[in-house]
Structure 1
Amino acid sequence: MKLSTKGRYGLRALIDLAKYSGQEPVSITSISDRQGISERYLEQLMAMLKKAGLVKSIRGAGGGYVLAKELEEISVGDVLRALEGSLEPVECSGLNPEEGCKAADSCVTKYVWQRINESINHTVDEMKLDQLVEESRKMGCQDFPGQTGCKN
């Protein structure tokens, strides 16, 4: 499984939003400045996150984005699925009887794909946004949580 920039940048943007929103909305411009992600791309990502119910937009002067849920309620899996779709590295019709895989009865590899899928989903669903914000603060990565070895 390889994540696209949508998943990687979207998660960074959401961590930034979580760190800086508090009681005020955070503008796309401020996230863009801190994260080094283009405003246009961030707008697309935020639209996807809004559609998934993870962020809300506030219009007008002083507007921007806020989280739609509490930090501890948003998992990495929620974010990645909103931006990437399914996280399954292999689509196996043998795991879904209604898809009619001809080899499903004799195929052992479907159990491999099932275990991999379950492991990925368990891992990303277990990690919550509040944990990532805390890790970012411990590392001293106030502005660039995606950079290696930052000590801002």
Structure 2
Amino acid sequence: MRLLRSTDLALRVLMRLAVAGESSPTTREVADGMDVPYTHLAKVVAELQHMGLLDARRGRGGGLTLTEQGRTASVGAVVRAFEGDGDVVDCEGATPCPLNSACRLRGALRRAQEAFFASLDPVTVGDIVAEPTGALLLEISRGSQGASPRSDTA
């Protein structure tokens, strides 16, 4: 299974903020550190804020902080929220599958998808930044703070 880019970014933002400590990086700083366009990350941050997983404050002294709900959030729930409940394959698209009424593959793929999500359900954001990952993330994020600003164009 391949995750959407927004799902990957959401998980990486949560991980980054989980090791931020007292600092509150801005969306632009996180985008620059991840080497992703600001506009893409801003959409992901807005969704994470809407889900209650992070706080985003504007202006002087502002920035992004992980909420307690964000630290204990299930990785499976985050992935489900960003991936949606759609089927793995589109059997009813522009050219509907002729096996649609008697296909067993669709059900098998759906069960596999649900097993994938279920395997992530007990894992929390806090779990995925436990040592040694947390220390490495912190080192990487400190190194990217000195990076030169880049343009928002993709």
Q: TM-score under structure 1 normalisation?
A: 0.68
Q: Within 1, Cα distance between the matches of 2:84 and 2:74?
A: 14
1:15, CA displacement in angstroms? 0.8
Relative distance call for 1:11 and 1:28 in structure 2 (3 A) is same
Q: Within 1, Cα distance between the matches of 2:116 and 2:140?
A: 28
Matches within 5 A, 1:1-152: 1-20=1-20, 22-70=21-69, 72-86=71-85, 88-89=87-88, 112-134=108-130, 135-137=132-134, 140-141=136-137, 142-143=139-140
1:47, CA displacement in angstroms? 0.8
Identity %: 27
Q: Within 1, Cα distance between the matches of 2:18 and 2:23?
A: 11
**Who is 2:152 aligned against?**
none
Please list every run of at least 4 consecutive aligned residues from structure 1 whose deviation after the TM superposition is greater than 6 angstroms: none
Report if aligned partners of 2:14, 2:70 keep a CA contact under 8 Å in 1. no
**Who is 2:145 aligned against?**
none
Larger relative contact order (Cα-Cα within 8 Å, sequence gap ≥ 6): 2
1:27, CA displacement in angstroms? 0.8
Q: Within 1, Cα distance between the matches of 2:86 and 2:67?
A: 23
Unaligned runs of 5+ in 1: 93-101, 145-152
Q: Within 2, Cα distance between the matches of 1:26 and 1:107?
A: 49
Deviations 1:120-142 (A, max 9, x none): 1211212211121114236x343
**Which residue type is aligned with residue 52 of structure 1?**
M
